[in-house]
Structure 1
Amino acid sequence: MRINGPNGTTLGSPTANTRRTNSSGFALPDATPSAEVRPAVAPKAAANIDALLAMQGIEDPVERRKRSVQRGKGALDVLDDLKIGLLSGNLNASTVSRLRDAAANLKSTSGDPGLDAVLSEIELRVEVELAKAGQF
């Protein structure tokens, strides 16, 4: 749509001032093959997959210590639940089951000798309580 003048559109031929040329101003360079042609190559594998898996398996000592502390706290919480259940006379089988699970989780080491000593004492107490309950 073309709008000319103040009154809107006008029908007619283009103005004489418009100059048309046959050249577009854009031209592609002559199609000459490039001197260097590279064959398609498959992408390279990202190093050795075994090395990547090994890197993922490396634990941060701080994280390992935090997880060990959480396992110890969890075991102590279950021991407290057992104590409350024994004192109230309502010992649940689920508490003994949780105690067994806590004992299994305490077997791993944290890498810190002091923490490992405390965790082994907690593990011993858990095993004693399981033996008292006749579940060990």
Structure 2
Amino acid sequence: MRIDGTGRPTTIQTGTSVRRPAGAEGGFTLPSETQDAKAAPVAVGLTGVADLASLIALQQVDNPLERRRRSVKRGFDLLDVLEGVKIDLLSGNVSEERLDRLVHLLGQRQSSGDEKLDALMADIELRARVELAKFGKYPD
């Protein structure tokens, strides 16, 4: 059965023969001992370990784009928690879990490598610290 494009499957014609190159014999044959002696030795054991070590080393390298992505995500998380604090204030009851989350996020500060992004993050962090100070919580 053969599938052509998006149409319906069609059947393959039977009775067609497969052409083999001249001199080719069918079947499976084992290589002779003379071919085995000529084969070059293969070092398999240590290359896998070296490749794994280099992969682990590459994962530990801090990529500037990855730092920026983490910093942006942290900024959005801070803004989300601040939005939740605002909603809690309007409802009249601010949850301790939300304030603890804000303290936790403030403790995860790291530079993104981008001056403008770091300045924006400093502004967001200042706003979060002001909100925490209103409730008597002071992050480290």
Bin for the TM-score computed over the shorter chain: 0.5 to 0.7
Q: Which runs of 5+ in 1 are unaligned?
A: 1-27
Distance 1:109 1:95, change over 3 A: same
* SS at 1:135 equivalent: coil
Distance 1:84 1:52, change over 3 A: same
Match of 2:68 in 1: 65
- Aligned pairs for 1:107-126 (under 5 A) are 107-126=109-128
Residue identity matched to 2:86: K
Residue identity matched to 1:53: I
Q: Which runs of 5+ in 2 are unaligned?
A: 1-28
Q: Deviations over 1:32-67 (max 9, x none)?
A: 964947778662334375533221122443333222
Residue identity matched to 1:83: K
Say which is worse superposed, 72-81 or 38-47, in terms of deviation: 38-47
Q: Give, in whole Å, the separation in 2 of the partners of 1:119 and 1:44.
A: 46
Q: Give, in whole Å, the separation in 2 of the partners of 1:60 and 1:41.
A: 33
Residues matched between the structures, number: 106
Distance 1:54 1:40, change over 3 A: closer
Runs of 4+ in 1 over 4 A off after TM superposition: 37-42
Q: CA RMSD in A?
A: 2.9
Larger radius of gyration: 1
Aligned with residue 100 of structure 2, among 72, 97, 108: 97
Residue identity matched to 1:43: G
Q: Deviations over 1:52-110 (max 9, x none)?
A: 322112244333322211210110111111122123211111111121122123x1111
Aligned with residue 79 of structure 1, among 73, 77, 82: 82
Q: Give, in whole Å, the separation in 2 of the partners of 1:82 and 1:119.
A: 18
